Chains A and B, each alone.
Chain A
Amino acid sequence: METYTLIVLTLAATIRVATPLLLAALAGMFSERSGVIDLGLEGKMLGAAFAAAAVSAVTGSAWLGLAAGVGTALLLGLLLGFACITHRGNQVVAAMAINIMVAGLGPTLALAWFNLGGQTPQLDGPGQRFAGLVWPWAQQAREAPVPGLLYAELLSGHNLIVYVALALVPLSAWVLYRTRFGLRLRAVGENPLAVDTAGISVNGLRYQAVLISGLLCGVAGTYLSTAASAGFVRDMTAGKGYLALAALIFGKWKPWPTLGACLLFAFTDALATRLQGVELPLVGVVPVQFILALPYALTVLLLAGFVGKAVAPKAIGVPYSKDK
């Protein structure tokens, strides 16, 4: 029973850790499938996390925070589009610029506005955060043995954004593979010339993709500062944007495998927390750092083609111009 409780709790933690990863990875999927490298996930999430926490702290509404977070990430996405799509700048450089700029801008503005050493105020008022949604009879179900705990801890009790993120996986798959927009999006990432010849605007499609990415990053960042924790702190994304990118590659730029990769990476994170300093039979204490490094090592191995093969969209990273 003890072990069972531990497993259920670890899985529940996995879902909570996976949520921002999944949102960011799906964001990256739309952008990269259109041919725009999305190294800026980290910066867009961080910017959204700051804006959401700041607005929620001032207005007392997590929903207004969400709007601010999404708005900020959309603006950053537009900036990326302006640099890389309109002016055909280097996509990697533009994204790094945004990541670095936002990493400085968040604490700078936070200090000037709230004077708390680069943080936003603690969000502890009612409605300032996205609270967990307790499903019907969850409390009573906890009393029941095996399935009760599963219901109470694993299915019930997460906040709205968690469920939205999970629902976005089938939705993204449907958009990508079953709609005209999805077909065009995939085409523009593989062969923009063909899309252009068909009379469809390459830049228009890519702007839409970058904006969808901004929208999802905005939700992911809002989750970090107003749901998973209670406020913005310096560098609170802590590499999650890059980890999401790794998950996207690990999921071969496809929605369902990307969900799998996010869950796997989140599970290693939850596991590392559980195994901190625990003596295991046969192997002894496993260093936490090695478990945490596992997603990065796996992604390198995958990119190297040693475990399966990840093939990126063909036109990724190449700015499109009509007069080549």
Chain B
Amino acid sequence: MSAPRKLPRWAELGLLPLVNLTAALLLSGLVVRLLGESPWAALKLLADGAFGSQEAVGYTLYYATSYIFTGLAVAVAYHAGLFNIGAEGQAYVGGLCTGLVCLGLGTWPFWAVLPLAVAAGAAGGAAWAFIPGWLQARRGSHIVITTIMFNFLAAALMTYLLVNVLIRPGQQSPESREFGPGGVMPPLHELLAKVGLTFASTPLNLSFVLALLAAGFVAVFIWRTRWGYALRVAGENAAAAGYAGISPARVTIGAMLLSGALAGGLGLNELMGAQHRILIDFPGGAGFVGIAVALMGRNRPLGVIGAAILFGALAQGGSQLSFDMPKVNRDMVVVIQGLVILFCGALENVFRGPLARLLGQREGGA
């Protein structure tokens, strides 16, 4: 079998993901069929649940906000040739730092807390990503394994802190007390109301705008700066980067710092935006969804935003689906996520060959 063929840019970034996504959805439909429900009806329920009303759209974008942060985190590391499976743990620790700022400074005005909370989240996530990055760069420890281990370490640390230290006195469930008013991210419907627009009350909040800004920052950083160039070169060919005077070790550490900082944004949406306190397992798998989002979005910021909205729609539409179809539960959404990762990531070469032949023939025949 020959090496994977090159596709034209539009096909690589548009057609191939679409074909892969279609395959994943077809197989998901087959599973729904197997459960004894109609795939078509399920799809309609899913779409309606995700986009059918203002409230639905709000929830979809609220989920998408978290996935944009983690998707960008995975994408940035990927450009440097690193596979960061640790976004979950980085988001967890970053969220802890954001939460501590909100607990401590809850009486301050929100606009004074916000920059500190953002900085704390980024610093916490970056710190948790720094160690695996440093170990990869200086000691050659495989970053996939170390980031997995750091997910478990983060979970152990957070369980300890929430059960023994941060728990609100006189309460059973491991949660902190509520943030003060300064630690609450304004919901988007309140912000829109200020300019005279009405929107349904949903957990969608200012973090969505921050996530879009983060995506813009990543786009500029990766493709318009020297550091971004160094990162891409080192990701393509570490040896060539070395000859060009770029230190692959420094790129590895730098890329992981940025990746972790982006993952640390999750707490802004989940804790400041929705929960208003620190609670156990608040990332809830968003770090792993980030892998699917980055793969589907071909590691481009715009692609990540699009894929995040798609996965947000799955998460939101999935709850509607489980409500209306008693035989389908929310875990079906996890199945679809897995299938998307499978087809967009692991099996991407399966359709690339035939697609290239198809396109090649047409161009050759014309």
Interface residues in chain A, defined as those with a beta carbon under 8 Å from any beta carbon in chain B: 37, 39, 82-84, 87-90, 92-94, 96-109, 111-112, 118, 234, 239, 242, 245-246, 249, 287, 289-290, 292-293, 296-297, 299-300, 303-305, 312, 321, 323
Contact = CB atoms under 8 A, between A and B. Distances in A.
Contact of A300 (B31, B34, B149, B159): B149
Given A118-B331, A290-B160, A293-B152, A83 B36 contact: no
A297 B152 CA distance: 9
5 closest A-B pairs by beta carbon, nearest first, are: A101-B338, A104-B334, A94-B346, A93-B345, A293-B156
Which of B2, B141, B288 has the largest number of chain A CB atoms within 10 A?
B141
Contacts of A84: 346
12 contacts: A83-B346, A84-B346, A89-B346, A94-B347, A96-B291, A104-B334, A104-B335, A107-B329, A112-B327, A112-B328, A293-B152, A293-B153
A318 to B, nearest CB: 13
B332 interface: yes
Contact of B152 (A94, A104, A296): A296
B160 A312 contact: no
A89 B333 contact: no
A265 to B, nearest CB: 12
Interface string B11-41: 0000000000000000000010011100000
Contacts of A103: 331, 334, 338
A139 to B, nearest CB: 40
A111 B325 CA distance: 12
Q: How large is the interface on B (under 10, 10 to 19, 20 to 34, 35 or more residues)?
A: 35 or more
Chain B interface main SS type: helix
Contacts of A323: 2-3
Contacts of A89: 345-349
Contacts of A90: 83, 345-346
A87 B157 CA distance: 39
A119 to B, nearest CB: 12
Given A92-B83, A108-B332, A83 B347 contact: yes
A303 B14 CA distance: 39
Chain A interface main SS type: helix
Contacts of B327: 111-112
A100 B338 contact: yes
Interface string B302-345: 00000000000000000000000001110111111111011001
A305 B139 CA distance: 7
Given A97-B342, A304-B135, A305-B139, A118 B152 contact: no
Contacts of A104: 331-338
A100 B337 contact: yes
A39 to B, nearest CB: 7
B258 to A, nearest CB: 20
Given A112-B34, A293-B152, A305-B139, 4 more contacts: A88-B349, A96-B345, A97-B345, A108-B35
A201 to B, nearest CB: 13
A118 B135 contact: no
B245 to A, nearest CB: 27
A100 B156 contact: no
Contacts of A287: 160, 164
B197 to A, nearest CB: 37
Nearest to A311: B140
Nearest to A113: B35
Contacts of A312: 142
Contact of A304 (B139, B335, B342): B139
Contact of B144 (A88, A92, A297, A305): A92
A290 B160 CA distance: 8
Contact of A97 (B83, B141, B341): B341
Interface in B280-297: 288, 291-292, 295
Contacts of B156: 289-290, 292-293, 296
